[in-house]
Amino acid sequence: MSSKNTILFGKAAIEDLKQELIMFRSDGRELFLLVDENTHKHCFPVLKALVGKKNFDPAVLEISSGEQNKNLRTAGDLWSQLTIAGVKRDAVLLTLGGGVISDMGGFVASTYKRGIAVMHIPTTLLGMIDAAIGGKTGIDFMGYKNHIGSFYQPEKVFVIPEFLKSLDQRYWRSGMGELLKYGFIKHPELLKSDAFFDENREEAMTLIELAATAKLEIITKDPLEKGLRKILNFGHTIGHAFESFALGKGQDLLHGEAIAAGMLAELWLSVKYCKLNVQVLEEYKELYLKLFQPFLIQEEAIDELMQLILHDKKNAAQKLNFVLLKAPGKAVFDIAVEPSDIDACLRWYIELLNEDDES
């Protein structure tokens, strides 16, 4: 892996970003800032105040917020705008937003003239601990999540907690879904943290660095997901199927919420395949129900979900490979799971949550 992908936190991030902006200006490099309407309104003024207006006068590219806009049409609009503006290969794209913005910005930057530099300033919890780190870019296509994309490392990622102040509570909780994943795959202490219930968001700041650093360590060892990096997909095989299913039906389900539900199902598989202590599943079930609005599905959805899981890009040669847990902090990958067990798992999930919903 190249020296790209440096992550800076807090004050160090702000100082470094200021230096970068001075250099872009002195080198005559064009600077573009990708935002959506919310980060334009809430985060752009904060960013200007943090870095000072003097060296910061980017051309702003705004797209509409939301997963439904992470598509080819939006990418096409951005390519068009860059083309019409005559943007050269030494330009820099700075993204300011959540995972939709960093995925889209990374994708457009990786493809425009075969690649211009991209740097991310994540503004959601999920972006700070996951989406902005690791160089996976992508758009949704034909109903499949992240179906078209590339691996393209950002030059730098600036994690600045100030932006979290304006983040909506539901997105905050959604980020907690991915944060819990780091508890399962690497840092079990995260699973016991009170930060999940800290409405002031003060406590969670310390966890962001832990999770972001964990991701960086993993992707540095395995940038192209040949092995170890797969553990970052814990909860994602079923979680992505839930997400694609909801997207197709126009249901409102956020990424972190889908992963939180996917982890519940994949913990059940972990008990069956990897002898995970059933207590871990029980405790997580309680936490999941406290933190999230349960994602309810009906039996009729099972066939469609199975199709989506089969189509999952992680399943080489139609083998249903999962990341499962032996214990919190001990994830194992490439565990082949029988389709009949996935079916049983989905039925268990449906019964569990629908029962709870009725009680």
Contact status: 246 vs ligand NAD (CB under 6 A): no
How many Cβ atoms sit within 10 Å of the Cβ of residue 64?
A: 12
Calpha distance 73→79 (Å, rounded):
10
Q: If binding is defined by CB under 6 A, does position 146 make contact with ligand NAD?
A: yes
**CB closer to ligand NAD, 167 vs 264:** 167
From the list 21, 34, 43, 297, which residue makes contact with ligand NAD (rule: CB under 6 A)? 43
| In the complex, least distance from residue 354 CB atom to ligand NAD, rounded to whole angstroms | 26
DSSP state of 131: I
Answer yes or no whether residue 257 interacts with ligand NAD by CB under 6 A: no
Q: Among 5, 32, 116, 127, indicate the residue that binds ligand NAD (CB under 6 A).
A: 127
Q: Which of 68, 80, 166, 293 binds ligand NAD (CB under 6 A)?
A: 166
Residue 160 Rama label (left phi>0; alpha psi -120 to 50; beta): beta
Q: Is 38 in the site for ligand NAD (CB under 6 A)?
A: yes
Name 67's Cβ contacts closer than 8 Å, sequence gap at least 6.
100, 140, 247, 255
**Which of 107, 163, 295, 322 is in the footprint of ligand NAD by CB under 6 A?**
163
Least distance from ligand NAD to the Cβ atom of residue 261, Å: 15
User: What's the rounded Cα separation, in Å, for the pair 235 and 109?
Assistant: 29
The total of other beta-carbon atoms located within 10 Å of residue 56's CB is 20
Type and span of the H or E element at 290:
helix 278-291
C-beta of 175: minimal distance to ligand NAD in Å?
6
Q: Which range in 21-29, 33-41, 200-208, 244-252 contacts ligand NAD by CB under 6 A?
A: 33-41
Applying CB under 6 A, the span of 72-80, 168-176, 202-210, 330-338 interacting with ligand NAD comes to 168-176
Site string (192-221) toward ligand NAD, x via CB under 6 A: ------------------------------
Q: Which residue in 75, 82, 121, 126 binds ligand NAD (CB under 6 A)?
A: 126
Which listed residue (176, 255, 257, 320) binds ligand NAD by CB under 6 A?
255
- CB 30 to ligand NAD: min, Å: 24
- Measure the CA angle with vertex 254, ends 248 and 255; round to 5°: 95
Which residue stretch of 37-45, 79-87, 192-200, 318-326 sits at the interface with ligand NAD (rule: CB under 6 A)?
Answer: 37-45
Minimum CB separation from ligand NAD for residue 286, in Å? 24
| Among 161-169, 192-200, 202-210, 314-322, the segment contacting ligand NAD (CB under 6 A) | 161-169
With contact defined as beta carbons under 8 Å apart, do 269 and 206 qualify?
Answer: no
- Binding track over 86-125 against ligand NAD, x by CB under 6 A: -----------xxxxx-x-------------------xx-
Measured CA to CA, the distance from residue 6 to residue 2 in angstroms comes to 10
The answer to whether the Cα torsion of 133, 134, 138, 143 is positive or negative is: negative
- Applying CB under 6 A, which of residues 78, 121, 131, 276 lies at the interface with ligand NAD? 131
- Nearer to ligand NAD among residue 215 and residue 281 (C-beta): 215
For the chain, the first-to-last Cα distance in angstroms comes to: 51
Q: Which one, 216 or 274, has the nearer CB to ligand NAD? A: 216
Q: Alpha-carbon distance 78 to 91, whole Å?
A: 14
Q: In what order do the strands lie in the sheet with 156-159?
A: 6-9, 156-159, 117-122, 92-97, 31-36, 59-63
CA distance 97 to 131: 10
What's the rounded Cα separation, in Å, for the pair 19 and 13?
Answer: 10
Q: Are strands 321-327 and 330-336 parallel, antiparallel or unpaired?
A: antiparallel
Residues within the interface to ligand NAD (CB under 6 A): 36, 38-39, 42-43, 65-67, 70, 97-101, 103, 123-124, 126-127, 130-131, 134, 136, 146, 163, 166-168, 171, 174, 254-256
